[in-house]
Structure 1
Amino acid sequence: MSIKSIAAKIFARKIYNQTLSWANKPIETQIEVFKSLIENAKETEFGKDHNFASIKTFEDFQKNVPIRDYEDLKNYIEKVKAGEENILWKGKPLYFAKTSGTTSGAKYIPLTKESMPTHVNAARNAILHYINETGNADFVDGKMIFLQGSPILTEKHGIKFGRLSGIVAHFVPKYLQKNRMPSWETNCIEDWETKVNTIVGETINENMSVISGIPSWVQMYFERLQERSGGKKISEIFKNFNLFIYGGVNYEPYRAKFEQMIGKKVDSIELFPASEGFFAYQDSQKEKGMLLLLNSGIFYEFIKADEFFTENPKRYTIGEVELGVNYALIVSTNAGLWGYNIGDTIQFTSLAPYRVIVSGRIKHYISAFGEHVIANEVENAMKEATAGTNIVINEFTVAPQITPANGLPYHEWLIEFEKEPENIEIFAEAIDDSMRKQNIYYDDLITGNVLRKVVISKVSKNGFQEYMKSQGKLGGQNKIPRLSNDRKIADNLK
């Protein structure tokens, strides 16, 4: 055992104990975060516009600060981008993280000197919790790869602009710099296919122990490695690869494909990062869900998803949430976001401590007939339908077909198979059965002959990659929506 791995275990125990200190008093922790946020921002333009000086309670805050999305906050953000100070948060932010907006074009999310460390520390602490629980620290001596966006930044009015993953690349601790791959020059390559091919060349002969990234793009990296190595399993190429770290999408639909490519099972750690904040990470290999980070300068509110689009829906705080309910996640942060709807929906899997899963996007659902099918339901259906079979899925998405040429409307599942089912109709039936068990409204529509059962359409090899490429969204933090309420993606794929 190396000195580095021994030190990692000692540090991991320290961080674990620190986590217990706030996780065991969640409501008190959130109250302290709330008070700190209000106090630090009461002299900002936003704070003055929303009477922060008079806010003492959560109820005061909710009366003065409505729920907002990016468009509602854009006027303030434009002032910050123009170099004005004390607008959303004291002073000016260090960075703007540029993200792809579905309705707003590019979005620019501020990162401040107070918020930036929480992104870095959360990623580190996720790994340290894994070390503390499993005792496995040998991987710290191997090479680690983080598939991410370019770290090249621009600057205007003293604020740097870039992709979140590229910004975070500037904060990799010195003790990891020698282990970190790919090289800085390769990380700066903008074209994703060129970048992945270059990464393959740099890493194929290295002792890779940790691989991290969005599953769909790590899958592309693995495929290129296998092409270069003559079809070897990833575990043959990287004999000490034992830990996969991911975020952005649910890993379960990819798990069978990954285990086939890797040639063995490897441990995994799920993260829940976003430009708006690092919200949660998997703190245990034994428990379902990710630990919600209640002490990271983020005050959380939750709106039940089925009430979200009603007038003045109730905003719940951490002490009021329930297990298994689908909530829209609302945040106020030390980067200057206030009552901000990040667009993700979550469900609590534990209340002691508070653990969550990401169940989908509040605007990504199918409700063409009132069924309100969410991402978590279609992912569970796919998992159940493929369990115990040899079927392997590369990627899939779901869309409604409202006006078919013949017969009743239906939900169309567009699937790129690595290994197809022997009988596509039996497979579709299994998916449909699972959907009906999970969603009573969908079941009613099938029973009432309003909808016909699931229809599967095969997508050609690399069809999803080609679609993303055509949209200028190949690689990086981009990902295919698991489902949508229109046919934009479906018709492009077909």
Structure 2
Amino acid sequence: MSIKSFASKIFAKSVRKKIDKWAQDPFQTQQKVFENLISEAAQTEFGKDHDFASISKIEDFQQKVPIRDYEQLKPYVEKMVAGEENILWPGKPLYYAKTSGTTSGAKYIPLTKESMPHHIEAARNAILCYIAETGNSKFVDGKMIFLQGSPELDEKNGVKLGRLSGIVAHYVPGYLQKNRMPSWETNCIADWEEKVDAIVEETKGENMSVISGIPSWVQMYFEKLIEKTGQKVGDLFPNFDLFIYGGVNYEPYRAKFENLIGRKVPSIELYPASEGFFAFQDKQQEKGMLLQLNSGIFYEFVDASEFFDENPKRLQLHEVEKGVNYVMIISSNAGLWAYDLGDTIQFTCLKPFRVIVSGRIKHYISAFGEHVIGKEVEQAMQEALRETGARISEFTVAPQINPQESELPYHEWFVDFEEEPDDLNKFAEIIDKSLQQQNSYYFDLIEGNILQRLKITRVRQNAFQDYMKSVGKLGGQNKLPRLSNDRKIADALQVIK
């Protein structure tokens, strides 16, 4: 065992104890975070506009500060981007994480000197919790790759900006610099396909032990490795011992990855976003990720079924229940206040608080009142893959409202199969049955002959990658929506296929 490996075990136990301390006292932890946020921001423009000086309890905050999404917060953000100080948080941000907005073009999410360290610590702590639980630390001696956006940053009025993953690349600790791949020059390549090709060349002969990224883009890297070397990833990298991922549910990819790797590899799930690092998988045998309650973020939750009501009830941690679909609302030391992320989550455990990401509040199908969400389609797909032995590369779902002739409407599932099932009709039946069991609205529509059973549409290999490339979202942190309430993606896929 190397000195680095030995030291990591000692450090991991120390960090695990600190995490357990705040996780076992969640309500007091969140109360302290809330009080600190209000105190620190009281003299900002936002704090004065919303009378932070008179806020003494959470109920006051909920009365004075309405839920906002980026569009509604944008007037304040624009002042910050223009160079003004003390707008949403004291001083100026350290960075802006630039993301693609659906309605407002580019979005500029502030990262402050108070919020930035938590992005780094949470990712580190996820690995340390894994070491503390399993005792496996040998991977720290191998090479590690993090598939991410370019670390090259632009600047606006004295504040640097770029993709979150590119910003984080500047914070890789010194003790990992020699292990880190790819090279800085390769990481700066803008074209994703060219970048992946360069990463393959750099890594194919290395002792890779940790690989991290969004599954769909890691899959592309694995496929190119196999194409280049003719070897399974697990044979090429015999010490590959940990896969770290986030951004999408891994389960639909798991069978495909095990085939590409040639064996099972332990994994850690993360829940990072430009707005904050919210959760990570802290236990291998527990479902869900530990909600980060001590990271400068105060959480509220709104039942997704009530979210679009005029005054939806904002719940605190002590009011949530397991298995309910909630929209997560955050206030943070990055200067986001009662901010609607757009994510929906479900609690899998309340002692400690663990969550799964169930989808996006705007990514759903309810063309007929069925309210189908991402978690439901992913679980249905997972069941079909498990029962049939099929493997897929990617899929998305859209409603078909105007079918040909006198057909009933239906849900259309676009699937890129790695290995097709022997009986595609049976595959569709399994998915449809699972959806009916999970979603009573969908069941009623099928039973009432309002909808017919879903249909599977095969797409050619790499059609989804080509679609993402066509809309300028190939690689990096970009993710294909699992489902849509319109035919925009479906129509584009019809052309591509």
Interval containing the TM-score (normalised by the shorter chain): over 0.9
* Secondary structure of the corresponding residue to residue 10 of structure 2: helix
User: Can you list the C-alpha shifts for 1:428-455, whole angstroms capped at 9, x where unaligned?
Assistant: 0010000000000000000000000010
| Structure 1 residues 93-172: aligned runs within 5 Å | 93-172=93-172
Task: Tell me the amino acid that sits aligned with residue 307 of structure 1.
Answer: E
2:354 aligns to what?
355
1:384 equivalent in alignment to 2:375 = no
User: Can you list the C-alpha shifts for 1:8-49, whole angstroms capped at 9, x where unaligned?
Assistant: 000000000000110000000000000000000000000000
**Structure 2 alignment gaps of length 5 or more:** none
1:301 aligns to what?
300
| CA distance, structure 2, for counterparts of residue 435 and residue 346 of structure 1 | 19
1:342 equivalent in alignment to 2:329 = no
User: Can you list the C-alpha shifts for 1:80-102, whole angstroms capped at 9, x where unaligned?
Assistant: 01111100000000000000111
| CA distance, structure 1, for counterparts of residue 127 and residue 158 of structure 2 | 33
User: Can you list the C-alpha shifts for 1:216-255, whole angstroms capped at 9, x where unaligned?
Assistant: 000000000001002x110111010010000000000000
Q: Tell me the CA shift for residue 390 of structure 1.
A: 2.4
1:278 aligns to what?
277
* Secondary structure of the corresponding residue to residue 364 of structure 2: coil
1:24 equivalent in alignment to 2:37 = no
Task: Tell me the amino acid that sits aligned with residue 189 of structure 2.
Answer: I
* Secondary structure of the corresponding residue to residue 37 of structure 1: helix
1:461 aligns to what?
461
| CA distance, structure 1, for counterparts of residue 174 and residue 33 of structure 2 | 30
* Secondary structure of the corresponding residue to residue 53 of structure 1: helix
| Structure 1 residues 184-333: aligned runs within 5 Å | 184-230=184-230, 232-333=231-332
* Secondary structure of the corresponding residue to residue 309 of structure 1: coil
Q: Tell me the CA shift for residue 327 of structure 1.
A: 0.2
Task: Tell me the amino acid that sits aligned with residue 365 of structure 1.
Answer: Y
Verify the 8 A CA contact 2:390 2:420 in the aligned structure 1.
yes
Verify the 8 A CA contact 2:365 2:398 in the aligned structure 1.
yes
User: Can you list the C-alpha shifts for 1:365-424, whole angstroms capped at 9, x where unaligned?
Assistant: 000111100000000000011114320010000000001013100000000001011111
- TM-score after normalising by structure 2: 0.99
Q: Tell me the CA shift for residue 322 of structure 1.
A: 0.4
1:87 aligns to what?
87
* Secondary structure of the corresponding residue to residue 473 of structure 1: coil
1:448 equivalent in alignment to 2:448 = yes
2:64 aligns to what?
64
**Structure 1 alignment gaps of length 5 or more:** none
Task: Tell me the amino acid that sits aligned with residue 113 of structure 1.
Answer: K
Task: Tell me the amino acid that sits aligned with residue 340 of structure 2.
Answer: N
Verify the 8 A CA contact 2:388 2:427 in the aligned structure 1.
no
* Secondary structure of the corresponding residue to residue 472 of structure 1: coil
| CA distance, structure 2, for counterparts of residue 17 and residue 148 of structure 1 | 31
1:176 equivalent in alignment to 2:176 = yes
1:371 aligns to what?
370
| CA distance, structure 2, for counterparts of residue 371 and residue 100 of structure 1 | 29
Q: Tell me the CA shift for residue 75 of structure 1.
A: 0.6
User: Can you list the C-alpha shifts for 1:81-138, whole angstroms capped at 9, x where unaligned?
Assistant: 1111100000000000000111221100000000000000000000000000000000
1:34 equivalent in alignment to 2:34 = yes
1:419 aligns to what?
419
| CA distance, structure 2, for counterparts of residue 386 and residue 49 of structure 1 | 53
| CA distance, structure 2, for counterparts of residue 437 and residue 386 of structure 1 | 17
User: Can you list the C-alpha shifts for 1:139-189, whole angstroms capped at 9, x where unaligned?
Assistant: 000000000000001122221011000000000000000000000000000
| CA distance, structure 2, for counterparts of residue 108 and residue 156 of structure 1 | 11
| CA distance, structure 2, for counterparts of residue 126 and residue 44 of structure 1 | 33
User: Can you list the C-alpha shifts for 1:328-371, whole angstroms capped at 9, x where unaligned?
Assistant: 01000000000000010000000000000000000000001111
Task: Tell me the amino acid that sits aligned with residue 411 of structure 2.
Answer: H
| CA distance, structure 1, for counterparts of residue 38 and residue 158 of structure 2 | 25
* Secondary structure of the corresponding residue to residue 388 of structure 2: coil
User: Can you list the C-alpha shifts for 1:436-487, whole angstroms capped at 9, x where unaligned?
Assistant: 0000000000000000001000011100000011111100000100001000
* Secondary structure of the corresponding residue to residue 318 of structure 2: helix
Q: Tell me the CA shift for residue 61 of structure 1.
A: 0.2
Task: Tell me the amino acid that sits aligned with residue 422 of structure 1.
Answer: D
Task: Tell me the amino acid that sits aligned with residue 391 of structure 1.
Answer: A
| CA distance, structure 1, for counterparts of residue 441 and residue 171 of structure 2 | 47
* Secondary structure of the corresponding residue to residue 479 of structure 1: coil
Verify the 8 A CA contact 2:400 2:409 in the aligned structure 1.
yes
Q: Percent identity?
A: 71
Task: Tell me the amino acid that sits aligned with residue 414 of structure 1.
Answer: F
| CA distance, structure 2, for counterparts of residue 170 and residue 26 of structure 1 | 32
| CA distance, structure 2, for counterparts of residue 272 and residue 490 of structure 1 | 28
Which segments of structure 1 move beyond 2 Å, counting only runs of 4 or more?
A: none
| CA distance, structure 2, for counterparts of residue 104 and residue 458 of structure 1 | 33
* Secondary structure of the corresponding residue to residue 19 of structure 1: helix
1:436 equivalent in alignment to 2:404 = no
- TM-score after normalising by structure 1: 0.99
Task: Tell me the amino acid that sits aligned with residue 169 of structure 2.
Answer: A
* Secondary structure of the corresponding residue to residue 113 of structure 2: coil
More divergent stretch after superposition (95-104 vs 342-351): 95-104
| CA distance, structure 2, for counterparts of residue 482 and residue 197 of structure 1 | 27
* Secondary structure of the corresponding residue to residue 387 of structure 1: helix
Task: Tell me the amino acid that sits aligned with residue 320 of structure 1.
Answer: E
| CA distance, structure 1, for counterparts of residue 312 and residue 273 of structure 2 | 24
| CA distance, structure 2, for counterparts of residue 105 and residue 324 of structure 1 | 34
Task: Tell me the amino acid that sits aligned with residue 101 of structure 1.
Answer: G
1:45 equivalent in alignment to 2:8 = no
Verify the 8 A CA contact 2:214 2:246 in the aligned structure 1.
yes
